[in-house]
Structure 1
Amino acid sequence: MNEALAEINGLPQEAHIGKTVAELLPGVGAEIMEAFRHVAMTKESIVAQEASDETPTVPGQQRYWSVNYYPIQQRFLARASGILASSRNYQTTLTPHFSQA
């Protein structure tokens, strides 16, 4: 949990403790959890999966991400996954305008 994700979710870092992804981002929570489970069980990464949802910081506006999931392999972790999400808002907003030109 880092400051960038806290800013996206509109909550301080401490408020994320004990919350599920579905509680933080209800529109994509189930999809994200399924990807986490898949990666944890298969130990295969998922690269550049598209996701979109509204966030508390910008209600009413769809936000877009390209998401990578990867297995975390450490001796004391049974099965774990990590996530790296990058915003595609700028690209997604401009692409239709350039297509019409």
Structure 2
Amino acid sequence: MLIQMLDLEAVKPRTLVGATFLKFLSDNESAFNLLYCIAFALMDHLWLAMHASYMDFNAVMKLTRHQLEKELLEENITRLEELSSYAHLLGNS
């Protein structure tokens, strides 16, 4: 999901989200690892909040992707640690 969302298979990102992520990656070589952890923590939070079952997996993933894209495109974000979903990684839901 992250590879598709960030358009990482392209030589040059074709999406605004992908281009935005490259800025984070240029500042922090571990940016993908951190975003992966944030995405997983967000997915877990949404899964529990939605009382999801395995039949809801696609809906939870779609919502996770939408939330991450929205947060990555916020103008005041300069580091991944500033994403509001980062709080889920710290256990501060």
For the pair shown, the structure with the greater C-alpha radius of gyration is 1
More helix per residue: 1 or 2?
A: 2
Length-normalised TM-score, structure 1: 0.26
- The structure showing larger relative contact order (alpha-carbon pairs under 8 Å, at least 6 residues apart) is 2
More strand per residue: 1 or 2?
A: 1
Length-normalised TM-score, structure 2: 0.27
